[in-house]
Chain A
Amino acid sequence: MRRGDLAEFVGALEAPVERFVREAGLRLVLLINESGQVLAQRGFARALDVMGVAALGAGIHASSRALAELLGMRGFGHLHQGGSQAQVFIGPFRTPAENLIVIAVFGEDSSIGLVQVFFDQFTGQVARLPGWSEVRPTADARAFERDLEAGLENLFGGASA
């Protein structure tokens, strides 16, 4: 996604992300594309945390997809890491525009079952949004880093980290 597109298309994600957080009882959520560009977030206070989680989440997704391919599959539906205090859900999904990844953190107020149910609804809503329901040209290599920065600026303004 290019810098010029960002405000319009990212703005359209606000309502579905907000609903997903509320209905699934999430503590944190991050929506990124496969390049690691941040498109939406809820619950993070600092851009530095967002960058770290986005990078790690994209890396975990890439590793798991490589593992799935080794096992003869196209990929896993989602990844879930349980824990006593918090649990992590990483869910990739396709839109006509590009492939996206949700990284969600939830606690004992929610459950993996709830997150799965509302994740399915969320992906359907995003895929129907204007801008996400049609194929767009992807960013070229020169624009990659600039667009990563644009994503963070869009979410946190000029005062990142």
Chain B
Amino acid sequence: MSAYRELLERVNRITGVRGAMVVAVEDGLIVEEDLMVGVPGPAAAALVASLFRRARRSVQAAEFGSASYLQVEGGEGLLFAAAPPQLGDLLLVVIAERWVNVGLVRLEAQKVVEALG
């Protein structure tokens, strides 16, 4: 099992998470995924990576340093992306129900990413 797979499985254990992916920021392509059936992985990966690239540019333009988290809430779900330095040019993308405990997702992601580094 790859280290990324372990990361995704731990995030997926959180109640309300429908899937997680490791995505290349620049390409918008999935490196590793663990998604529930019916979750449109490639489209979500490409679009979240695109959003993150723009968010990163906005943060840099405002001279706020580097963007590390992005969260988008929809009517029926939530997209969460994290770009910790340990993942290099990769994003951790989490797709979850709207009522998921985002703090717990962030905490778990941070713990696993630190373990990877």
Contacts and interface: CB of A to CB of B under 8 A. Distances in A.
Interface in A4-38: 25
Interface of B: 23-24, 26-30, 42-43, 45-47, 49-50, 53
Given A111-B53, A114-B28, 15 more contacts: A25-B50, A111-B26, A111-B27, A111-B29, A111-B50, A112-B27, A112-B28, A113-B24, A113-B30, A113-B45, A113-B46, A114-B47, A114-B49, A117-B42, A117-B47
A contact face: mostly helix, strand, loop, or mixed: helix
A63 interface: no
26 contacts: A25-B50, A111-B26, A111-B28, A111-B29, A111-B46, A111-B53, A112-B28, A112-B29, A113-B23, A113-B24, A113-B27, A113-B28, A113-B29, A113-B42, A113-B45, A113-B46, A113-B49, A113-B50, A114-B28, A114-B47, A116-B42, A116-B46, A117-B42, A117-B43, A117-B46, A117-B47
A25 B51 CA distance: 13
Nearest to A110: B50
Interface residues of A, number: 8
B57 to A, nearest CB: 10
Contacts of A111: 26-29, 46, 49-50, 53
Q: Which 7 A-B pairs have the closest CB atoms?
A: A113-B28, A113-B46, A111-B28, A114-B46, A113-B29, A117-B46, A117-B43
Interface of A: 25, 110-114, 116-117
B67 to A, nearest CB: 16
Nearest to A82: B27
B26 to A, nearest CB: 6
Contacts of A110: 50
Contacts of B24: 113
A25 B27 CA distance: 13
A147 to B, nearest CB: 36
Contacts of A114: 28, 46-47, 49-50
B78 to A, nearest CB: 20
Nearest to B23: A113
A16 B1 CA distance: 42
Nearest to A87: B27
Task: Among A25, A111, A117, find the residue whose CB has the most chain B CB atoms closer than 10 A.
Answer: A111
A116 B28 CA distance: 10
Task: Among B23, B24, B46, find the residue whose CB has the most chain A CB atoms closer than 10 A.
Answer: B46
Contacts of A117: 42-43, 46-47
